[in-house]
Structure 1
């Protein structure tokens, strides 16, 4: 499986695991990238994101960024992974842990 398809599959799998819709992810990414509240632009981005998650020509860098944004979203973790680490560890350490987990998952999916 090539990298783009693998990243697309990981994003879709994470969305499903968190019970999060594609529209919710699109809004999260859009808010992070844009300062203004433009509903029309958000709708266009939602359509664009949907296409990016199915096209083989989507850049892996863009997909990795989307996955990182998805991994930093804490929704869905409450019931599955009880942890107090977030109250004791710096955000940078937690982000590195998320990144490492994603890399491990990617390696496991290759096998």
Structure 2
């Protein structure tokens, strides 16, 4: 995945957090507490700082951001906000230019719905 795709995924995660009213710190704490049985306040603070850096760095592994997104889709806050996990299909059916146009249209529709 190129740096631009990572940037897009980071932006997507930040956008979802904003839409459902979760701060980056709140999300990081939830994620850590869900991932590990027992965590200390110190570990949570450390992870919150690490999480914020991961949302800025272009060297963040895309799998890491995907894991955060997948977790986000399962949270109560996400469901309570009335959202469902986004689905996308990209196969060999569409030419690359058509697929790009479809993503653009989808993004524009989503933005209009959110208004």
Q: Structure 2 length as normaliser, TM-score?
A: 0.68
Structure 1 residues 79, 55: closer, same or farther in 2, change over 3 A? closer
Which residue does 1:63 correspond to in 2? Answer: 65
Q: Is the 8 A contact 1:19 1:76 kept in 2?
A: no
Per the TM alignment, residue 80 of structure 1 is displaced from its structure 2 partner at its CA by 4.4
Partner SS state of residue 75, structure 1: helix
User: Root-mean-square deviation (CA), in Å?
Assistant: 2.5
Structure 1 residues 27, 66: closer, same or farther in 2, change over 3 A? same
Gaps of 5+ in 2: 90-101, 108-115
Partner SS state of residue 57, structure 1: coil
Structure 1 residues 102, 13: closer, same or farther in 2, change over 3 A? farther
The answer to whether residue 103 in structure 2 is matched with residue 108 in structure 1 is yes
Q: Going by fraction, where is helix more abundant, 1 or 2?
A: 1
